[in-house]
Amino acid sequence: MLRMRKSTVRPPEGLCPIGTCMQVLGGAWTPNIIWYLSEGPRRFSELKADMAPISAKVLSSRLKELEQKGVISRQVLDTSPPSVEYALTSLGGELVPAIRAIAKVGYRLKQEGGTGRPAPR
């Protein structure tokens, strides 16, 4: 259900700095995770709910990756039942402007829908 478009997101890395970062937000849902965490810390199930049809497996692995890269932090709260809170690290916070920039253009793109005005050279 909900087949998602795939794409390779790892150009050689040496070419330009893009690759490096795309490795971070290249994964499916990754930008969304950052997005939602930018509004404040959030628990696993909350994120899961936020992101509707994401599978636990994928959410879990994206979170693990991001944690390992120092983009988010994971804190186990010893409540019962146990809950885990994820939050952006300061490094992760730096991604937010980038994400917002992307989102901003996303809007325009959706509006213009492919008008394709020639470049203003």
Partner DNA sequence: CTGTATCCTGTAGGATACTG
Partner DNA sequence: CAGTATCCTACAGGATACAG
Positions in 46-65 near DNA (CB under 7 A): 46, 48, 53-58, 60-64
**Residues 44 and 86: beta-carbon distance below 8 Å:** yes
To the nearest whole angstrom, how small is the minimum distance from the Cβ of residue 78 to its own copies? 17
Find which of DNA, its own copies, none residue 38 binds, CB within 5 to 8 Å per kind. Answer: none
Quick note: the x/- pattern for DNA over 61-100, rule CB under 7 A, is xxxx---------x------xxxx-x--------------
Shorter beta-carbon distance to its own copies: residue 81 or 113: 113
Is residue 104 involved in binding DNA (CB under 7 A)? no
Shorter beta-carbon distance to its own copies: residue 79 or 115: 115
Bridge-partner residues for 73, per DSSP?
87
Instruction: Work out the angle at residue 77's Cα, subtended by the Cα atoms of residues 75 and 78, and round it to the nearest 5 degrees.
Output: 140
Instruction: From 120, 91, 77, 66, select the one nearest 58 (Cα to Cα).
Output: 66
Shorter beta-carbon distance to its own copies: residue 40 or 82: 40
CA–CA dist 29, 56 (Å, integer) = 12
Q: Which of residues 6-45 bind its own copies (CB under 8 A)?
A: 6-12, 15-32, 35-36, 41
CA–CA dist 28, 7 (Å, integer) = 9
Sheet containing strand 72-77, strands side by side? 42-43, 83-88, 72-77
Is residue 59 involved in binding its own copies (CB under 8 A)? no
